[in-house]
Chains A and B, each alone.
Chain A
Amino acid sequence: MIDKLCDDAKREDIAVACLYYDFLAQQEQTITNVMGAILKQLVSRGGIPKEVREAFQEGKGEVGGRGPRLEDLVRMLRISIASLPRVFICIDALDECLPKLLPEVLKSLRDIVWESPGARVFLTGRPYVTEDIKKYFPKAAMTPINPKPDDIKNYLDMRLERDAEPQAMNSGLRADVVRIILGRISDT
């Protein structure tokens, strides 16, 4: 989907930013690093805006050098988004965000989106984060994801086609493999 949006972005004046939350990266996926990563992708298209430069100079001047503050990042994100007619922000696996940070992530997103009519946010996560999202975005569109038998069959065909030992395979066995795996999926 990101690739599809990016293809469109080449034609139209839109920008796409993505972020994948990961249990194993919780220590470094702080809220400022996450918002900074989104901003970084949005500004990489059109040169670094004046406001970002100024915040960087200010931070550098402080003792030990200081990273960007959340409020500054939210402000810079709003400015960057306002300069583009359409911006897509895609965040994967919200459930893998450190739970104590999630409310602030959603609040920051809301602060950005409310001021930015051109922003669209795509989120994925396990069903239990639905309640958290509704708290901040009561009108969010919700789509449940289930494995699609067609997707799985295509994938199985590809894997069987590339099997390292094709001589061990025959058409009967092959049909059984596909039938049994697809059967298991429809049971769940």
Chain B
Amino acid sequence: MRWLSPLEPNSRHQGVRNDRFDGVGDWLLETSGFREWRGGEGGADKAILFCSGDPGVGKTYLW
């Protein structure tokens, strides 16, 4: 597996999870944009959901 990539993104995710406050970002899960994207209607055309914001607004903590 290490041959595929030396990167270990799971350990970074653990760090985010530990720092994150419960419930932060839950609003996103309720938006129609998120639901449509997650549900998978629209096929490959609708496969991408991009959340944009300036530095420090909390994009990473949506995770």
Contact = CB atoms under 8 A, between A and B. Distances in A.
Given A125-B52, A139-B46, A155-B24, A145 B59 contact: yes
B3 A37 contact: no
Given A36-B7, A129-B52, A143-B33, A116 B1 contact: no
Interface in A117-156: 117-127, 129-130, 133, 137, 139-148, 150-151, 154-155
Contacts of A124: 50-53, 59-60, 62
B48 A133 contact: yes
Contacts of B7: 19, 28-29, 33-34, 36-37
A178 interface: no
Interface residues of A, number: 68
Contacts, number: 169
Indicate the member of B8, B24, B36, B52 with the most A CB atoms within 10 Å: B52
A3 B26 CA distance: 11
A86 B52 CA distance: 24
A117 B39 CA distance: 12
Interface in B10-30: 10, 12-13, 16-17, 21, 23-25, 27-29
Interface of A: 1-5, 17-20, 22, 28-29, 32-37, 39-41, 43-44, 48, 52, 56, 59-60, 67-68, 73, 86, 90, 92-93, 113-114, 116-127, 129-130, 133, 137, 139-148, 150-151, 154-155, 158
Given A28-B7, A37-B9, A143-B51, 16 more contacts: A1-B28, A2-B63, A33-B7, A37-B7, A41-B10, A92-B63, A122-B37, A124-B51, A124-B53, A125-B59, A126-B52, A127-B52, A130-B52, A139-B45, A150-B27, A155-B24
